[in-house]
Amino acid sequence: MLSFLSVRVLDIVDILLVALLLYWLYQLLKGTAAVNIFLGILAIFALWRVVKALGMDLLSDLLGAFISVGFIAFIVVFQPEIRKFLLAIGSPGFFKKTSSRFLFWKIKLEDENLSDIDPVVQACQRMAMTKTGALIIVSRKNDLTEFTETGVAIDATITDPLIESIFYKNNPLHDGAMVISLNRIKAVRCILPVSSSSDLPNDLGLRHRAALGVSERTDAISIIVSEQTGNISYCRDGQLSVDIKAAGLRNMLLNDFSPAVK
């Protein structure tokens, strides 16, 4: 009766290889909207295996049919990611460059992206006084490579004079977003997805829509300085807080990045 519990060495190898493959896929999808679809598909597949093992034939057939049709949808939805995955595997030195990344005990689960909070706050405060428009994106757990690749890579230390000089209106790099990741300014002049939400007030422009758009797709924090009013806004998880003061901005950043600050 318990024969189905017998485990072979090949079964363990099979499980480890599948886990490794899923981890590779997750690393490629991390930071994109596709990761939520990917996790949803995994949840449905796990449920199907459970009901199949329990002998629930009707529900098993229903979920099996959904998965069969969903395989085609999977290819369509993840076409860019699948192409990226295959190109990565085919590139020279792929396994040498990435072997150390797939040790599960090296996965980082804490926010360690912003410990230099004061330079960001001081720069935003001064830009608000001079009505210098700015859009700053600070990553948390999600990777923002898909956005940094659209801009100009600089990989610089976070300082308030640098932030202000980048967003100075005559600087060719001022247009677009600045992305901060791992406590470094990774890229500037980045292009972000624009939110289609109808809840935004009409007086808020493209900077606010872009800030909302990236926060809807990732867990990143968006900071906006309005060019028209000089108001500072803060966007997190698709929620926009407008007209906040420098002290309020600092408190919000401390709250969201307290593990890194401590």
pLDDT per residue over 135-151, tens digit each? 999 998 877 888 898 99
pLDDT band at 16 (very low <50, low <70, confident <90, very high): confident
Burial class (CB in 10 A: 0-12, 13-18, 19+), 96: exposed
pLDDT band at 2 (very low <50, low <70, confident <90, very high): very low
Check residue 140 and report its DSSP letter: S
Mean pLDDT score of the chain? 79
Q: Compute the half-sphere exposure of residue 238: CA atoms within 13 Å on the CB side of its CA.
A: 8
Unique residue bearing structure tokens 């994106």: 137
pLDDT band at 4 (very low <50, low <70, confident <90, very high): low
Residues of the chain with CATH 3.40.1700.10: 117-261
Cα–Cα distance, 147 to 79 (Å, whole number): 18
41 bridge partner residues: none
Q: What is the pLDDT of residues 85-129, one digit of tens each?
A: 665 555 555 554 454 444 433 334 344 567 889 999 999 999 999
pTM here is: 0.63
Cα-to-chain-centroid distance, residue 245: 26
Cα–Cα distance, 209 to 189 (Å, whole number): 16
Per-residue confidence (pLDDT) for residue 72, from 0 to 100: 72
Per-residue confidence (pLDDT) for residue 106, from 0 to 100: 38
Hey, is 176 helix, strand or coil?
Answer: coil
Cα–Cα distance, 202 to 95 (Å, whole number): 50
Cα–Cα distance, 250 to 208 (Å, whole number): 19
Q: Compute the half-sphere exposure of residue 7: CA atoms within 13 Å on the CB side of its CA.
A: 7
Domain spanning 117-261, CATH architecture: 3-Layer(aba) Sandwich (3.40)
Cα–Cα distance, 83 to 90 (Å, whole number): 11
Bridging pattern class, strands 152-156 and 232-236: unpaired
